[in-house]
Structure formats: C-alpha cells, structure tokens
Amino acid sequence: MSEAIFTADSTPMLALGYRFQWEPAQNCNVLLYPEGMVKLNGAAGEILKRISENKQTVAELISELKVAFDGADLDDDVYQFLEEAYNNDWIRAE
C-alpha cells in the first residue's frame, strides 16, 4: 500500500479545470472538466459538493457528513473515496 495522500489535516480541493454541478437532465450530480463529464452516485456527490463549496480539512468534511447522515461511521469510506478521486485527477490535496 502506498502512502496516503489525505490525512485529517489536509484540504481536498477540486483539481484545476474541474467543476461540480447538479444536472437536471441526468438527475444526478456531475463533475465537468475539459471535454468530459463524470456522473456521480449519491455518496460521491455529497462529498464533492462539500469540497467544491467550502475549503475545509478532511476532518471537518467528515464531521459535517456525520451531522448530515445521522452520525454514520463513514471515515474509511471518505478516505477511500478521496484516494480514488485523487487517482482519477478529480481532486488535489493542499
């Protein structure tokens, strides 16, 4: 396993040129980037929405999600998603 890109203190940001928005025609959240689009499932949409709206640390992001989703234990899922999103060049770490 390679070293983790994201820790509790790091700030995930959308990668340069990426835009998050709700797409009525697709009835889902999407990420738009040069000449492409990714349709997001519910969980991915919730995380990326928050990343695109507020500059915050992973710890803050997780606590916000916990409030929104009744204290669910979602730490591992969030970290896993962030790594995956990073590997897809959707987000960067600050």
Partner 1 sequence: MTGSEQNKQAPGSIGSSIGNVRDQIRQPLWLLAELTYACPLQCPYCSNPMDFAKIKSELSTEEWLDVFRQARAMGATQLGLSGGEPLTRPDLVELISEARKMGFYTNLITSGIGMNADKVAEFKEAGLDHIQVSFQASTEDLNNLIAGTDAFKHKIEMAKAVKANGYPMVLCFVTHRQNIEQMEDILDLAVSLEADYVELATTQYYGWAMHNRDQLLPLKEQLVKAEAIAHRYQEEQKGNMKVYYVVPDYYEDRPKACMNGWGNVFLTVTPDGTALPCHAARELPGMSLPNVRDLSVNEIWNGSDDFNKFRGFDWMTEPCRSCDEKEKDFGGCRCQAFMLTGDPANTDPVCSKSPQRHLIDEALDRGRAESEKSVIDQKPLVFRNPKNSKLISGL
Q: Within 12-74, where are the H helices? A: 42-53, 58-68
Residue 19 contacts partner 1 per CB under 8 A: yes
Residue 32 contacts partner 1 per CB under 8 A: yes
Q: Pick from 41, 67, 70, 94: which binds partner 1 (CB under 8 A)?
A: 41
Question: In terms of CB distance, is 17 or 70 closer to partner 1?
Answer: 17
Q: How many chain residues bind partner 1 (CB under 8 A)?
A: 23
Residue 40 contacts partner 1 per CB under 8 A: yes
CA distance 39 to 55: 22
Distances (CA, A) of 26 to 39, 41, 53: 8, 11, 21
